[in-house]
Chains A and B, each alone.
Chain A
């Protein structure tokens, strides 16, 4: 198997400029694969899949009662980002996260951005992600979004866009680390010859970010990862990160509020917890403050948090900036808080609550992608180009009934990477989710998770919708 017959097609291909014409930076990889005996690449793919399964790098699927664990499908052909491209992405992400953090801090404080007329007040007040109990909160160092997983996509012309910011509990980093581990044994020679930025130090950076939240007076702060439990779709990752950082992985039932502090139940009695990396949604974290039916959280945690006796990452309330209507204002935020022009572009977004946008959206449903403002994971979406008339009519009604809840964007023709499907290299659409840590400084982890749509022609890359992943190589 080699790339002789691979057709990049009428898309931006991450590895090829044209048929049989690889991008200069990826030459060593293509040459190596072309030099392998026939079917060797398939064997390596098979070995890599098995290794991941053995590692237990699985995710759970909610709707599936039988054998809920599945391995996240993995493809051995990596996605490659050149050093030059990466510099731009890195700078753009730093700028964006800094501005978003300013925005969240402002919204839960003086709300200057509303006062100055940059964002209309009703956009904020009607956002489901806005948590009133967080108003007036002062998290340590003024940092709210400690861990972000920004979704980036690339259009036909190679232009990068930010699709979503994911400021709550972005997942996927464990696959980045495990995929790399597997790739190193699949292509050791390529790693020797191409300068590829290492990714193994993510847990150290994450731990630093979390330790940065504990009061300096504490000599040996206790950090925990809070998980909803083994049945959560991302449980593997929660466990993996706790293990890699050497901290406790706790569930809500392990924690209790006692003597004014958050404490965990140990074999030797209660022990104080100082920093919580929570992988539970805001709504579930404290039944006394938020959803009373939550059994995942800790009753009374919010009070301890507001008193500054425990730090939580990400801070509660960051979801306000994940609202897709508010997303549309990020370029404005960057100009407002930083007095700079945005380095990374938003996908052009129509806001249905604006009269003129609404009529444009309703008239052009066939070519647009419509999204509910508060959904994620590929749910609550209409992909116009692949919809039926009935679906469009249904969505039109939904939009008219609640225009605030819908946005629309032109269909982005996601870039492609060659991928093994049915023993052939086929161009499959990808996105990229780099991970950004906000501790003492903002740190962008080189690469990130490349998700790939494994159905031919599909543009949906979410793991819950049949997507897979690839290793991402950022070149030095």
Chain B
């Protein structure tokens, strides 16, 4: 597979997943406000903090309110991680590999893009709740269409790596920010307010019901961190994402787990095995925030290693000298 093509499929999936996660952040916050009678003040700034682009936001919009944050994260076409920009980038990547992906995938990205574009152009009638659930559904539809219509070949695996790395990154960020910014002033610990916050966090990653269904049903910060970082089976937990990204990588290179032949296999394999053996007690002891920061750095590093190992177009200067020189002097005379 062409390096450029693999790169485009990887980013196509990352951008779609990114758009979905941004919709999740905003959506859950909007829902939380509905419970504001219980004393939650509107918390919009943390949403920007998650993205790591707080300075950029402050410079352009100043105060974080529902309007400015939604504008910035949804429709700001100058901000490269807004939903609109993500879809534009996803579509450009899809367009450059249309012949590789299935027509159904292209049509889904295309109509996804136009759905967001239409909402952008008709902001007067903007219905946030409807819009953000449509974004989530469109992303799921894309993932489903991808799995059901594209051959599960190398390109598909690169797409999966992109999607899972992006999702692992976003789950880590959501957990990090909620834990440190929203929570808890000491007096709120264990209160109704505290519980609502945690439920909101779980909902933002579609984890609420699944969390309740596992062995430990009670909502505790400990249990939630354990679930979202280390659960083996929940598809948005960091460990799940990393395990499946690694599997796809091995499918691509044909190496078996436990070995490595390039930096990507090494860093991803290392991250996976760390997640396999670390316990939530270890994590809390080292500090959740510190642990998550470290994790984000490692995920970022894996992305870089994948770029270096598969996508980077290294210049090749060697020109062959063995091609016989062209002889046509007789003919050239005629001109």
Contact = CB atoms under 8 A, between A and B. Distances in A.
B3 A266 contact: yes
Contacts of A265: 2-4, 313
Interface of A: 54-56, 109, 111, 125, 132, 135-136, 229-230, 235, 239-243, 248-251, 253-254, 256-261, 264-268, 270, 299-300, 303-304, 306-307, 309
B334 interface: yes
B214 to A, nearest CB: 38
B266 interface: no
Nearest to A246: B99
B332 A135 contact: yes
B247 interface: no
Given A230-B96, A267-B154, A307 B324 contact: yes
List 10 tightest A-B contacts by C-beta distance, closest first: A243-B99, A136-B328, A260-B320, A242-B99, A239-B98, A267-B310, A307-B323, A306-B326, A135-B331, A239-B99
Contact of A230 (B92, B100, B154, B326): B92
A253 B96 CA distance: 13
Nearest to B318: A258
Contact of B98 (A56, A257, A259): A56
Contacts of A270: 316
Contacts of B332: 132, 135
A87 to B, nearest CB: 35
A137 to B, nearest CB: 9
A256 B327 CA distance: 24
A95 to B, nearest CB: 28
Contacts of A55: 103, 107
B335 A267 contact: no
Given A230-B92, A267-B6, A267-B252, A135 B335 contact: yes
Interface in B78-111: 92, 95-100, 103, 106-107, 110-111
Given A56-B98, A135-B328, A230-B95, A260 B322 contact: yes
Contact of A304 (B311, B323, B331): B323
B130 interface: no
B213 interface: no
Contact of A267 (B1, B322, B323, B331): B1
Contact of B3 (A111, A125, A254, A257): A254
A243 B320 contact: no
Contacts of A261: 320
A54 B310 contact: no
Contacts of B311: 267
Contact of A250 (B2, B92, B310, B326): B2
Contacts of B313: 253-254, 265
Contacts of A136: 326-328, 331
A306 B328 CA distance: 11
Contact of B95 (A56, A251, A309): A56
Contacts of B3: 254, 265-267
Contacts of B323: 260, 303-304, 306-307, 309
A259 B318 CA distance: 8
A41 to B, nearest CB: 26
Interface string B306-321: 0000110100101110
Nearest to A255: B2
B99 A240 contact: yes
Given A135-B328, A267-B154, A306-B326, A251 B4 contact: yes
A268 B254 CA distance: 11
A125 B335 contact: yes
B318 to A, nearest CB: 6
A251 B2 CA distance: 10
28 contacts: A54-B107, A56-B95, A132-B332, A132-B335, A136-B326, A136-B331, A230-B92, A230-B95, A241-B99, A242-B99, A243-B99, A243-B100, A248-B2, A248-B5, A249-B100, A253-B313, A254-B2, A254-B3, A254-B4, A258-B318, A258-B320, A266-B1, A270-B316, A303-B323, A306-B326, A307-B324, A307-B326, A309-B323
Contacts of A259: 320
A306 to B, nearest CB: 5
Residue in B6, B92, B96, B318 whose Cβ sees the most chain A Cβ within 10 Å: B96
A240 B2 contact: no
Contact of A54 (B97, B99, B110, B318): B110
Nearest to A249: B99
Contacts of B154: 267
Residue in B6, B311, B313, B326 whose Cβ sees the most chain A Cβ within 10 Å: B326
A270 B252 CA distance: 16
A375 B319 CA distance: 35
A170 B160 CA distance: 38
A240 B100 CA distance: 10
B328 A258 contact: no
B9 to A, nearest CB: 11
Nearest to B110: A56
A431 to B, nearest CB: 28
Contacts of B100: 243, 249
Nearest to B91: A56
Contacts of A268: 1
Contacts of A256: 316
A51 B103 CA distance: 13
A56 B92 contact: no
Contact of B319 (A241, A264, A300): A300
Contacts of B334: 111
B107 A243 contact: no
Nearest to B309: A267
B69 to A, nearest CB: 27
A242 B335 CA distance: 38
Contacts of B99: 239-243, 249
Contact of A257 (B320, B326, B327, B328): B320
A332 B318 CA distance: 48
A250 B100 CA distance: 11
Nearest to B107: A54
B142 to A, nearest CB: 15
B222 to A, nearest CB: 42
Contacts of A267: 1-3, 6, 154, 158, 252, 310-311
B96 to A, nearest CB: 5
Contacts of A109: 331
